[in-house]
Amino acid sequence: MSLVGKKAPLINAPAVINGEEIVENFSLDQYLGNKDVILFFYPKDFTFVCPTEIHAFQEKLAEFEKRGVAVVGCSCDTEESHLAWLNVPKDKGGIEGVTYPIIADSAKTVAHNFGVLAGDWNYDEDGSLIFEGAPVAYRGTFLIDKEGVVRQETVNDLPLGRSVSETLRLVDALRHVEKFGEVCPANWEEGKEAMQATRDGVADYLSKH
Residue-wise pLDDT for 15-41, tens only, equals 999 999 999 999 999 999 999 999 999
Q: What's the confidence (pLDDT) of residue 196? A: 67
Q: Helices 49-59 and 164-180: crossing angle, nearest 10°?
A: 40
Are the C-beta atoms of 94 and 85 separated by less than 8 Å?
yes
Query: What is the b/e burial string over 5-34, where b = at least 16 CB atoms within 10 angstroms of the residue's CB?
Result: eeebbebebbbbeebeeebeebebeebeee
By CB neighbour count within 10 A (0-12 exposed, 13-18 middle, 19+ buried), where does 199 fall? exposed
pLDDT at 95 > cutoff 90: yes
Instruction: Quote the Cα angle for 8-10-15, to 5°.
Output: 110
pLDDT confidence bin for 206, thresholds 50/70/90? very low
pTM over the 0.85 mark: yes
Q: Which of 51-60, 134-143, 177-186, 196-205 has the lowest mean pLDDT?
A: 196-205
Q: What is the mean pLDDT of the chain?
A: 91
Instruction: Kindly report the length of the chain.
Output: 209
Q: Find residue 6's DSSP bridge partners.
A: none
For the question of residue 184 being annotated catalytic, the response is no
Task: In whole angstroms, give the CA distance from residue 5 to residue 149.
Answer: 6
Q: What's the confidence (pLDDT) of residue 192? A: 63
Query: What is the b/e burial string over 121-152, where b = at least 16 CB atoms within 10 angstroms of the residue's CB?
Result: eeeeeeeeeeeeeebbbbbbbbbbbeebebbb
Mean pLDDT of 47-70: 96
Q: Is the pLDDT higher at 184 or at 113? A: 113
- For 146-197, write each residue's pLDDT tens digit: 999 999 999 999 999 999 999 999 999 998 888 888 776 777 777 767 566 6
Q: What's the confidence (pLDDT) of residue 198? A: 47
Task: In whole angstroms, give the CA distance from residue 79 to residue 86.
Answer: 10
Q: Which one of 50, 74, 76, 184 is the catalytic residue?
A: 50
Q: What's the confidence (pLDDT) of residue 205? A: 40
Q: What is the dihedral of CA 9, 35, 55, 152, to 10 degrees?
A: 50
